[in-house]
Structures are given as C-alpha cells and as structure tokens.
A and B are shown apart, each in its own frame.
Chain A
Amino acid sequence: MSTLNLAQVRVGDTLPPLTVAPINRTTLALFAGASNDHNAIHIDLDFARRAGMPDVFAHGMLSMAYLARLLTLWVDQRQLRQLGARFVGITHLGHQITCAGKVVEKFESDGEQRLRLEIQTTNQYGDTKVLGDAVVAVVALSL
C-alpha cells in the first residue's frame, strides 16, 4: 500500500479505475447475506414486481462497497476520512460497473493535509449510477 505524497498528487489527477464483474443474481444474493441487507427487493423477483420494478436490482450499498474498494486500492484505509454517495440511478442485473475518481481539492483540516475526491460508478453504457465524494489524508496517521 503506497503512501500518498502530496507533491505527487495534483488537483485533476484521476485514480486508476476499477471495473467489477457484471451484476448477476448470485452477486445480489451473496451481498444480501454478507451485508445483512435482506431487503427482498434485491433478491426476490416476485416481491420486486409487486413493488413495481421489472426485476430485482443491486443494493446501493454494493455500489458503495465497490467505490470503497476503488479508494482502498489507492490509499490505505487508515487515510480515509469521509465517504459519501448519492444513489442517482438503479444498477440493474447485467450492468458492469466501473468506479472512477478524481482529485478536486487539496486542503488542510484537523492539522492534516487532505484531498477531496469526486467518485462515481458508471455502467457499460456510460450511465452514471452513483455520485459520491471522499476525503483522504495525505499522510496516514494511526486511526
């Protein structure tokens, strides 16, 4: 895990993107169990249809977990200060999600140099599904 050097990171820099396997029913069943989110709309087709949806669809928190992986592939988790997401579109079965991030600000807070990032997920058709932001400390302190 590399430690970020402020001198090397600039506003406008992008993170190496992360593309994950297309969403299928197994993905959602496993994530339901692993994440403790058993909302039937993500695992039960009949329930989803009764709720007016064409099919089950991905948990927003699955997309957010992928965004967290994007960040922890880039910095040590101990440097992560904030992570936020807005679920702006539904991630359907068959969508292949790519997570992307960009440094948008350098600032100082709580005695630390920090970077603010814009992050997002996009499917294979270029539709944005999750918009978020994150703050990371440039030098890891023991969190």
Chain B
Amino acid sequence: MIDKQFIGKVLPGFQVAAEAAQLRFFAKATGETNPVYLDESAARDAGYPGLPLPPTFLFSLEIQQPASGWRQEMGIQPARILHGEQSFTYHRMAHAGDVLRFESRIADIYDKKGGALDFVVRETRVTNQRGEHVADLRSVLVQRNA
C-alpha cells in the first residue's frame, strides 16, 4: 500500500521547451493529417505563432520530469502501474518554442478492493515563459498490489 502521508507532497518543479521537431513526430505517430500540426506555414496561416501543441502533448512534456526519485520514495513500482485517468483544463494555447514550467503535487492517495489497488492523484499547473497559466493536468495512476 502506498503511504497516505505523501498526500500534499510537492514534486520538484521543472521547465522544458516544446520543440517543433518533436511536435511533428507526435503528429506523425498519432496519424494526424491536419497541416496545422505538421507544417509551420499552415500553422501561421491559421493564426498560430508556431506549431500548436496538440491537446494531450502537455503530458508528453510533463513525463520528461528529470527527478523521478519521488516514485521510488513513495514505493511506486513501474511494472505494476496503469494510467487510470487523465484530464486537461486549458487556459491558453502553447506553441513550439514555448518554455513551459510544470509544478505538481500529489493531490490524493486512496485504495480500493481492500488494498489490492492503490490510486495516486497528481495535479500539475503549467505556465509559460511569460508566467501565463496554460493548463492544469490531473493524472490518476493505479498500482496493482495483488
């Protein structure tokens, strides 16, 4: 069982640049055909300052968090976890070239089925290089203990 004392734990913040090449790779890997996500000039024609980050890509930046020692500290075992839920609330767009800051905390920990399943809820606030609020992310990880 994951110790509930970790509820409220603040994870190390970090920032990461959104890169156009990675966005094009993501578009290809997800079967994207809309040129807005693939071609800089199409993005500009659509009124974007650069390639827009597609709606779920913030998770792909968040996952680059360099210090993942907190998972070990909390006793989370990579082979036993599943992604249970994910949500995004958007406040403004982000584009290639933006440098995004991720600040996360463990919002909740609970178990079900007599401890056979542990749930870890992480909430993340994302801001851009101008300090503007870009989005809020919420992830629920499920760990199978049985």
Q: What distance in Å separates the Cβ of A54 from its nearest Cβ neighbour in chain B? A: 15
Chain B residue, CB-CB nearest to A135: B89
Specify which of B26, B46, B80, B88 is in contact with A1 (CB 8 Å cutoff). B46
Size class of the contact patch on chain B? 35 or more
Tell me, rounded to whole Å, the shortest Cβ–Cβ distance linking B42 to chain A. 11
Binary contact track B71-111/A, C-beta < 8 Å → 1, others 0? 00000001110111111111111000000000000000000
Q: List 9 A-B contacts (CB under 8 A).
A: A35-B60, A50-B79, A61-B60, A61-B86, A65-B26, A65-B30, A78-B93, A85-B85, A143-B93
| Per-position 1/0 for B47-87, Cβ under 8 A of A | 00000101111011101100000000000001110111111
Interface residues of A (CB under 8 A from B): 1, 20-21, 27, 30-31, 33-37, 39-41, 47, 50-51, 59-62, 64-66, 68-69, 71-73, 76-78, 80-87, 143
The one of A62, A65, A82 that contacts B54, using a Cβ cutoff of 8 Å? A65
Task: Compute how far the CA of A84 lies from the CA of B56 in the bound complex, rounded to whole angstroms.
Answer: 10
B86 touches A85 (CB 8 A): yes
Which residues of the other chain, A, contact B5 by a CB distance below 8 angstroms?
none
* B90 and A143 within 8 A (CB): yes
Beta-carbon contact of A61 and B83 below 8 Å: yes
B interface with A by C-beta (< 8 Å)? 22, 25-26, 28-32, 34, 36, 46, 52, 54-57, 59-61, 63-64, 78-80, 82-93, 138
- Contact present for B60 and A72 (CB under 8 Å): no
Q: Closest residue of chain A to B24, judged by CB? A: A34
Q: Are A64 and B56 in contact (CB under 8 A)?
A: yes
Please tell me if the beta carbons of B28 and A34 are within 8 angstroms of each other in the complex: yes
Q: Which residues of B contact A68 (CB under 8 A)?
A: 54-56
Determine how close the nearest CB of chain A comes to the CB of B25; give it in whole angstroms: 4
Whether A31 pairs with B29 at a CB distance below 8 angstroms is yes
Chain A residues, CB < 8 A from B46: 1, 76
Q: Besides A35-B26, A81-B89, 6 other CB < 8 A contacts? A: A1-B36, A30-B28, A37-B63, A61-B59, A77-B52, A82-B90
Question: How long is the Cα–Cα vector from A24 to B106 in the complex, in angstroms?
Answer: 34
A81 partner residues in chain B, CB cutoff 8 A = 89-90
Shortest C-beta distance, B135 to chain A (Å), equals 10
In the bound complex, residues from chain B placing their C-beta under 8 Å from that of A34 are 22, 25-26, 28-30, 60
Contacts of B92 on A, CB cut-off 8 Å?
143
